[in-house]
Structure 1
Amino acid sequence: MFHDHYKSKNRFKAKDNSPKGKKGQYLVYKCNTCKTVFKAEDVQAEVLQDLKIKWTSNLHQLIEKSKSVLTDWSNTLHTWKESLNQTEECIHLNELYLQQNSESSEMGKIIQISKKIVREEKANITTNNFYSYVNITIEKLSSLPKRGSRAGLR
């Protein structure tokens, strides 16, 4: 009977029905609409079961959303790393061109500064291990039980 009231989204008021001067507590919930009284234990058991179901469902959604965000980060880092590799290759080709044509030392300085910047950026990706950390986290999330599977979520 409580289940129907709970699912109808009726509001309840907590009430202490303990008799004065006697031991024991008689906590109840009273429906504001129809004034039906329910034992607190019944209400709490139903609410706890509902929260358990919703939490499990939301956990799967959170896992999927996390995987999606981390995959996007991984793709962005991969694109950044590829862009740095291409930039490094262009700098190298320009450096070879300058050596063959004996161009100005000013361009040589620019190339050296560019090489340093690219090396530092590549080191940031590698040293911080953020790229690896993101990919490892995606793998761990992927190994969690899939939606509909209750294994490990009890």
Structure 2
Amino acid sequence: MTLELIIFIASILFGAFIYWRESQSNHLYRFFNKLMYSKSLQMKPNDKMGFVYKQTFIMRLVFIGFLFLIGVIVLRFIIPIDLTTISIFVSMIVGTLIGTYLANFIFKSSEIIEEKTDSLEDIVNETIEKGKDFITDLKTEEPEQVETPTESPKVEEKSVRDRLKDKGYLK
């Protein structure tokens, strides 16, 4: 189990490395493309597609499976010990696929961040300026003094009892 886990993690890194390498240059894919197809069907010079770079899931799975199958066959001739099992073979393939998609996510997010850097900088600067304006408004604004209504002195009125006596209702 420990060997499988180590191979799985290493294959994730290997998948990221393959994806990065093919994003930089796809000479090997171009070579096989020239061997397999006629001149009219060959890929264009500005096409960046590779074995795993800009490929669909099924084609990545086929190419990576074929790569590891060749690797296992070569390893069997070099080391005649039965080291490769199905579980290790599958963990290598799955780990490499995960590594390619992880590298794709990292590359896409870094491209988006680079594109949005200028607009993010403008947004941050605008926010800072608005904050400074708000703080200066708070500092310069004098607190409003709440005016308490001053009560005018009351004119002494007759009590209710006295008024009722004046009208003759009370004795």
TM-score normalised over the length of structure 1: 0.29
Larger RCO: Structure 1 or Structure 2 (Cα < 8 Å, ≥ 6 residues apart)? 2
TM-score normalised over the length of structure 2: 0.27
